[in-house]
């Protein structure tokens, strides 16, 4: 239970903030603060402050647009965490919200309330420059050449222009004008440019590195460790948990997690526990590393133990390659029955029914797994030996040479570990009581040859999140404007593995949806099952829908349909249009606002990524036009396997998965219309199935309570309210 003193502290902080900013009390915001604080106060602890409750306190709140959820969870969680001696890890799904929290919300809260706490931004190693790699790339050495050879086209030798860029980076660091954060570099960096100097998993030698005291990543991490509130993202939290927790961020048992935009968590959870391997690329890699071992042997020749380890690793790589090559035809054989995986049909895939591979594949995968384990063991011994030399400068190999070669072996070790995870997944049978893993083969052209990719992924994140997050953390808060599907939290709970004691709460938006927003649905002429006719119907109606001198957002589930619609419009309409394919999100929004500010008509054509994370208030968006109900792609291996598993339980996968998922996506998409209480406009969903199919009414009812009108798609027929 919360102490009376802590309750008063939270209430006083809220009152002070409202008074100092001359705000009105928001009932929904106060309700959210109370729900979170009471839930966190229910955790039972021992004398040392460790959770003894069987389950962590989890509070799930769907907070409608306009509630002010960021301030609500900061006001409630941080005082409780400080009183309990816990860290707050605030994870967002998008960079935009992360920047808003860091640069606006927290500073504003500290300025206008009596709260006192420290905060820090947490990013993964990959966002920071590696001083050792920067040094190596500016003065070419054998290990850098080995890395270029090891990666082939994945890591090209830096051009003269790139070397000039890297020199600029070094100068900026020396002049203290930059702290090594990619996001703070004043110019756009391509992925290849950044990869050449970025910290990567497996390459970092930590405090053994000669640049450790000046390391950009560890300096940032030191600031993080001192902070009361750490602002991260979902990916970083999940990466830390997949490593066992407490590696990048504080240990989960010492943390109260806040997951904002929590509707992304189930999907993010799946991606972090999935694995893949490209067979032809792996064969090439194994062939290359044997050459690198020979080069290292020459340079390390003065240390007989290391030379012996290098020779053993070379033999292990040769044997692994031979075994993989021997069994390649087994995986090639499935190409004959593979289905098209893209529009052009050149990429195909074979998805194993319910994720179950043949006994022959399991046995083969186990044999390949054993070879990669042997290689991994040899590589681990080499890295241990190199670490010894980095710690003891008096060894047979000098510290600088060991430090130069450590990242090369580290990359090999990381790749071997990833291969082990994939082959392990293909060599085991899933436990019948749990959701299966999806397993599939993908075939894509590779010059005159074909690349074969083996992939494995959980179909839902529930088991992984339960094992790595819910069972370990002290407490958690999940929030978003969209967490329910078809009016319940069942879909989120099933995919996230939330326990039975979880607190669920819906807090409605203060917006007047009925009087401010109109939902328009055609009664006929828009059946997406006939793709060509549906596309042509959209082409014909769009000019009638778009208001002059205002902004509109046209959202598509299919890139191909979006492109066909744009191509089918006349030149005048195309001039008013901005496509997501042609501009970055930031530039797209800038150009759109610039046009509307000039009194021009502007229509943004976008895909799923524009259904959230963009803010177009007022005239910037008076219309949202949605091409169709955004059902998942039917040949997606993960969704397909999940559907088969659901069906095997005697349930309907379409009703259990497809419809709730589409409902959530439509809520997100329609949420682009009303961004402030003053906004108004219309949402048009060009899909007659909302009126004609059994699931349509449920989807419409799950949307905010807009005024609903139907129309026959001709300009002469007025809309009819229903």
Reported as a pLDDT band with limits 50, 70 and 90, residue 563 is: very high
Evaluate whether 316 touches 420 at the Cβ level (below 8 Å): no
The burial of 343, by beta-carbon neighbours within 10 Å (0-12 exposed, 13-18 middle, 19 or more buried), is given as exposed
Q: Show the tokens assigned to 428.
A: 């085991």
The 10 Å Cβ neighbour count of residue 175 is: 8
Q: Tens digits of per-residue pLDDT, 321-371? A: 999 999 999 999 999 888 888 767 789 999 999 999 999 999 999 999 999
Q: Tens digits of per-residue pLDDT, 115-135? A: 999 999 988 888 889 888 888
Q: Over 80: is that where the pLDDT of 701 sits?
A: yes
**Phi and psi, residue 40, nearest 5°:** -65, -30
Task: Name the CATH superfamily, with its identifier, for domain 4-124+221-270+462-507.
Answer: P-loop containing nucleotide triphosphate hydrolases (3.40.50.300)
Under DSSP, the state recorded for 45 is B
Q: Show the tokens assigned to 93.
A: 């799904």
CA 245 centroid distance within chain: 18
Q: Rounded to 10 degrees, what is the CA torsion of 419, 424, 425, 429? A: 160
List, in sequence order, every residue forming a beta bridge with 225; answer none if it has no partner. none
**Phi and psi, residue 689, nearest 5°:** -65, -25
Say what the pLDDT of residue 237 is.
Answer: 95
More confident residue, 183 or 493: 493
Q: Tens digits of per-residue pLDDT, 662-672? A: 999 999 999 99
Evaluate whether 674 touches 513 at the Cβ level (below 8 Å): yes
Evaluate whether 72 touches 239 at the Cβ level (below 8 Å): no
Q: Tens digits of per-residue pLDDT, 87-124? A: 999 999 987 788 889 999 999 999 999 999 999 998 88
Selected from 3.40.140.10, 3.90.1150.10, 3.40.50.20, 3.40.50.300, the CATH number assigned to the domain covering 513-721 reads 3.40.50.300
Q: Show the tokens assigned to 579.
A: 């496509």
**Phi and psi, residue 557, nearest 5°:** -85, -20
CB-side neighbour CA atoms (13 Å) of 682:
15
Q: Please name the helix (run of DSSP H) or strand (run of DSSP E) that holds residue 276, with its range, or none.
A: strand 275-278
List, in sequence order, every residue forming a beta bridge with 231; answer none if it has no partner. 90, 121
**Phi and psi, residue 18, nearest 5°:** -65, -45
Q: Show the tokens assigned to 353.
A: 């029914």
Cα(522)–Cα(388) distance, rounded to whole angstroms? Answer: 71
List, in sequence order, every residue forming a beta bridge with 506; answer none if it has no partner. 62
Say what the pLDDT of residue 715 is.
Answer: 47
Cα(368)–Cα(591) distance, rounded to whole angstroms? Answer: 53
What Cα–Cα distance (Å) separates residue 580 from each residue in 387, 668, 684?
48, 18, 20
CATH 3.40.50.300 intervals, the chain = 4-124+221-270+462-507, 513-721
Under DSSP, the state recorded for 216 is H
């Amino acid at each position: 239970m919360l102490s009376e003193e802590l309750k008063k502290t939270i209430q006083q902080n809220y009152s002070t903030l409202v008074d100092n900013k001359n705000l009105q009390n928001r009932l929904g915001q106060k309700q959210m603060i109370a729900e979170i604080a009471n839930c966190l106060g229910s955790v039972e602890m021992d004398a040392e402050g460790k959770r003894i409750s069987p389950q962590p306190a989890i509070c799930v709140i769907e907070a409608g647009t306009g509630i002010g959820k960021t301030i609500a969870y900061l006001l409630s969680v941080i005082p409780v965490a400080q009183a309990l001696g816990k860290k707050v890890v605030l994870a967002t799904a998008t960079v935009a919200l992360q920047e808003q929290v860091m640069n606006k919300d927290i500073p504003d809260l500290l300025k206008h309330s009596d709260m006192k706490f420290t905060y820090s931004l947490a990013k993964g190693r990959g966002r920071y420059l590696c001083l050792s790699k920067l040094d190596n790339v500016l003065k070419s050495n054998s290990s850098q050449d080995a890395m270029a050879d090891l990666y082939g086209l994945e890591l090209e030798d830096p051009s003269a222009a790139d070397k000039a860029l890297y020199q600029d980076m070094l100068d900026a660091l020396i002049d203290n004008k930059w702290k090594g954060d990619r996001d703070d570099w004043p110019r756009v960096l391509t992925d290849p440019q950044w990869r050449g100097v970025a910290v990567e998993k497996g390459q970092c030698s930590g405090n053994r590195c000669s640049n450790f005291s000046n390391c950009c990543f560890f300096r940032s991490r030191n600031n993080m460790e001192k902070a009361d509130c750490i602002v991260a993202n979902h990916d970083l939290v999940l990466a830390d948990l997949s490593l066992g927790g407490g590696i990048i961020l504080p240990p989960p048992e010492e943390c109260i997690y806040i997951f904002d935009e929590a509707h992304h968590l189930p999907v993010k959870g799946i991606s972090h526990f999935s694995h893949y391997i490209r067979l032809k690329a792996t064969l090439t890699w194994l062939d290359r590393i044997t050459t690198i071992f020979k080069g290292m042997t020459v340079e390390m020749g003065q240390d007989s133990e290391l030379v012996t380890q290098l020779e053993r690793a070379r033999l292990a790589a040769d044997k692994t390659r031979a075994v993989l090559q021997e069994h390649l035809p087994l995986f090639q054989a499935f190409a004959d029955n593979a289905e098209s995986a893209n529009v052009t049909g050149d990429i195909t895939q074979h998805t194993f029914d319910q994720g179950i591979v043949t006994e022959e594949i399991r046995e083969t995968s186990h044999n390949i797994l054993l070879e990669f384990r042997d290689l991994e063991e040899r590589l681990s011994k080499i890295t241990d030996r190199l670490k010894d030399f980095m710690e003891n400068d008096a060894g047979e190999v000098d510290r600088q040479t060991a430090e130069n070669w450590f990242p090369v072996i580290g990359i090999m070790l990381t790749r071997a570990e990833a291969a082990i995870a994939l082959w392990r997944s293909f060599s085991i049978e899933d436990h019948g009581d749990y959701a299966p893993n999806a397993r599939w083969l993908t075939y894509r052209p590779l010059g005159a040859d074909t690349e074969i990719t083996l992939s494995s992924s959980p179909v839902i994140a529930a088991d992984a999140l339960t094992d790595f997050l819910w069972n370990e953390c002290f407490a958690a808060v999940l929030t978003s404007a969209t967490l329910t599907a078809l009016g319940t939290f069942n879909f989120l709970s099933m995919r996230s593995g939330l326990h039975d004691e979880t607190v669920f709460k819906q807090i409605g938006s203060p917006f007047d949806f009925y009087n401010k927003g109109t939902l328009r649905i055609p009664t006929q002429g828009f059946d997406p099952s006939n793709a060509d006719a549906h596309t042509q119907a959209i082409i014909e109606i769009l000019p009638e829908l778009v208001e002059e001198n205002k902004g509109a957002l046209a959202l598509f589930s299919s890139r191909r349909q979006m492109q066909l619609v744009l191509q089918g419009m006349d030149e005048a309409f195309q001039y008013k249009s901005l496509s997501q394919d042609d501009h970055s999100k930031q530039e797209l929004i800038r150009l759109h606002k610039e046009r509307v500010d000039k009194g021009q008509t502007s229509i943004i054509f976008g895909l799923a990524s524009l259904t959230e994370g963009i803010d177009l208030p007022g005239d910037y968006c008076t219309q949202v036009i949605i091409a169709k109900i955004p059902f998942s792609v039917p040949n997606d291996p993960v969704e397909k396997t999940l559907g088969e598993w659901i069906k095997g339980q005697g349930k309907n996968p379409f009703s259990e998965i497809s419809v709730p998922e589409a409902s959530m996506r439509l809520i997100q998409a329609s949420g682009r219309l009303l961004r402030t209480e003053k906004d108004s406009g219309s949402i048009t969903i060009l899909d007659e199935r909302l009126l004609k199919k059994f699931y349509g009414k449920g989807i419409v009812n799950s949307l905010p309570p807009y005024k609903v009108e139907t129309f026959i798609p001709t300009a002469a027929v007025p809309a009819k309210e229903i």
